[in-house]
Structure 1
Amino acid sequence: MKNNFTLKYTFLLFLVSMLVCGSSELIAQQNIKYGMLTFNKAVNVSGKQRMLCQKMAKSYLYLVENPNDMNAKRDLLTSKIIFEKQNGIIAQNSSYKLTKDRLAKVDGIWVSFKKLIESNPSYDNAKKIIDLNTDLLKSTNDVVSAVIMESKGVVQNDANVLEDADSGESSLELKETINIAGRQRMLAQRLGLYYFANQSTLKDKNTEQMLKNVYHELDGAITMLLISDFNNSKIDEKLAIAMSKWEQIRNNQDKLMNQGFKSVEMYKITNDLTKAFNAVTILYEKVKV
């Protein structure tokens, strides 16, 4: 009888330990997710919000001079819809107070920004958009930073469980690389925005310097991506495509600063550049560490 009791007791302990281990593994698996998303996806999606707010501003400024361009009208409408939808997705999947607070700030600025981009294109409202767009950009960028900070806490906890600190550091480095690549999408749109803001009808004392700043930031970040440890053959290929798009501007800096590109040409080049860097960002998102 005693042996039977010992066997049953040992078996029960085994079952309990299996359940505890299983629960710990489940918790660890849950912790590496941003709600229903991976953290890599969350960094990508939140980063895309920066690009969309700049694309809406660029499209509006372009439409002031080109009111009948249906592609630009469609870009403005679809960007607005996607921006609102993705903001909701980011909010629904976050459990982090800082992220939610920063999303609330985005929503506050968005109310005013949305009214402007929904108005009939005019010079007066275009100037207001030029003034407001950087506030919206900063608030969306703050959300990306919060998502990365949220992932940092999760990665540290997960590294403790797995006793793999190197893996945790690599995971954070990858998220920063996704952030940099995603920021290039935004800078491409911001370049177009300030190209149009720098035309004589909208130009002020700051627009030319802003255009120069965006140009140099975009150019400098390309070098950082080229030497990334996460690059593979597919990423190298997509980076080469993005660089070929960038060379159209880089080789024509005088045209950039002196309104030498036709409006429709600059509109298309910056959209193509955004698409090229979006392809790079998606590939970084899928890298396994």
Structure 2
Amino acid sequence: MKAKYKALILLWFAALLWLPMSASGAVAADMAALVNTAGMQRMLSQRIAKDYLFLGGQIRAGKATRQMKGSVALMVNNHDVLKKSVTDARVRELLDEIDPLLEKMVKISKAPYVKFDGATMLELSETLLELNQAVVMELEGKQAEKTVSAVNIAGRQRMLSQRISKFYAAHQAGFQSDATMAQMTRAVEEFESAHANLESNSLNSEKINRELKGVENLWKTIRHYFTDNSEVGYPVTIFVTTDDIMKRMNAITLMYVKAHWASKSN
């Protein structure tokens, strides 16, 4: 038990390292950092639902549980950071709308999996994604700079990696509908279009280009599972590879945040 508790604590601290700011620090007011944090909320809404649905299919249940707990803690923390950092009235309204939905998602995540809650989790993840996307767009609109736009696009790729995996997990858990498959297909198209956009970004350093190439190589290994309309798949491979893509896209997003800071210091 102690070992498990320590593992969760380490996971929590590791997750916190993703945040390039603190609620009280001067960097918290930096628009790129705020866009990154709000953008991360999009990803976490999909990641939590994905993990819950993989639990329903008893796929990587131990890892999915640990990952979901860490993601829930990070999402709650990020939400608090945004509420303390943002003064814009419209953004604050959106964050207030998120409050009860996030509370419900947290509650479901703490209970054993049941299929009814799986359906609710899918609905919550869609609504939370929509609201957090609205937050990102409001924040990005306050500072129309190319570096901030790149942070949004790269950050959204984190979300899409988890969204694609979520719909795959939903299919595996018995939520099989034409609408779900259509949403997954659309997410695949959006992911590939945004990746091409990032590859041609003039802000790219050699390191960013290397990371983007790494993402492309990972994506090629699993793309056919989402586009061939085949019932045969390898859910563990999907779980692991989409997580690897998300981590690489997170690193790329932070590189764009640093590029924004560098442009401000020049």
TM range (shorter): 0.7 to 0.9
Structure-2 change in CA distance of 1:36 and 1:220 (3 Å): closer
Deviations 1:95-141 (A, max 9, x none): 21111111111113212222222221121111222222111100111
- Number of residue pairs the alignment of both structures matches: 237
Question: Are the counterparts in 2 of residues 96 and 150 from structure 1 also a CA contact under 8 Å?
Answer: no
Find the aligned partners of 1:68 and 1:199 in 2 and give their Cα distance: 13
Question: Are the counterparts in 2 of residues 188 and 218 from structure 1 also a CA contact under 8 Å?
Answer: yes
Letter in 2 for 1:176: S
| Residue 228 of structure 2 corresponds to residue 267 of structure 1 | no
SS at match of 1:151: coil
Deviations 1:190-243 (A, max 9, x none): 000001112372212311111111111101110000111111111111111111
Of 225, 230, 255, 1:283 maps to 255
Question: Are the counterparts in 1 of residues 56 and 114 from structure 2 also a CA contact under 8 Å?
Answer: yes
Letter in 2 for 1:270: T
Gaps of 5+ in 1: 1-32, 153-171
TM-score computed with the length of structure 1 as normaliser = 0.77
Corresponding residue of 1:163: none
Find the aligned partners of 1:280 and 1:68 in 2 and give their Cα distance: 27
Find the aligned partners of 1:247 and 1:35 in 2 and give their Cα distance: 37
| Residue 213 of structure 2 corresponds to residue 221 of structure 1 | no
| Residue 136 of structure 2 corresponds to residue 144 of structure 1 | yes
Find the aligned partners of 1:205 and 1:250 in 2 and give their Cα distance: 19
Matches within 5 A, 1:58-207: 58-66=50-58, 69-152=61-144, 172-199=145-172, 201-207=174-180
How far does residue 68 in structure 1 lie from its aligned partner after superposition?
6.8
Structure-2 change in CA distance of 1:96 and 1:246 (3 Å): same
Corresponding residue of 1:8: none
Find the aligned partners of 1:230 and 1:97 in 2 and give their Cα distance: 32
Structure-2 change in CA distance of 1:151 and 1:183 (3 Å): same
Deviations 1:117-176 (A, max 9, x none): 222112111122222211110011111112212335xxxxxxxxxxxxxxxxxxx12111
| Residue 207 of structure 2 corresponds to residue 234 of structure 1 | yes
Letter in 2 for 1:179: N
Find the aligned partners of 2:115 and 2:141 in 1 and give their Cα distance: 39
Identical residues among aligned pairs (%): 24
Structure-2 change in CA distance of 1:274 and 1:55 (3 Å): same
Find the aligned partners of 1:119 and 1:258 in 2 and give their Cα distance: 32
How far does residue 258 in structure 1 lie from its aligned partner after superposition?
2.3
How far does residue 280 in structure 1 lie from its aligned partner after superposition?
0.9
Find the aligned partners of 1:131 and 1:259 in 2 and give their Cα distance: 24
The runs of 4+ residues in structure 1 deviating greater than 4 Å are 251-255
SS at match of 2:256: helix
Structure-2 change in CA distance of 1:99 and 1:190 (3 Å): same
Find the aligned partners of 1:37 and 1:259 in 2 and give their Cα distance: 47
Q: Alpha carbon RMSD of aligned pairs, Å?
A: 1.9
SS at match of 1:36: helix
SS at match of 1:265: helix
TM-score computed with the length of structure 2 as normaliser = 0.83
Find the aligned partners of 2:142 and 2:27 in 1 and give their Cα distance: 12
Corresponding residue of 1:210: 183
Find the aligned partners of 1:254 and 1:147 in 2 and give their Cα distance: 34
Structure-2 change in CA distance of 1:36 and 1:247 (3 Å): same
Structure-2 change in CA distance of 1:200 and 1:64 (3 Å): closer
How far does residue 180 in structure 1 lie from its aligned partner after superposition?
0.4
How far does residue 66 in structure 1 lie from its aligned partner after superposition?
1.0
Deviations 1:250-271 (A, max 9, x none): 355555x324322211111111
Corresponding residue of 1:41: 33
Structure-2 change in CA distance of 1:106 and 1:34 (3 Å): farther
How far does residue 87 in structure 1 lie from its aligned partner after superposition?
0.6
Find the aligned partners of 2:166 and 2:56 in 1 and give their Cα distance: 12
Mean CA deviation greater in 103-112 or 235-244: 103-112
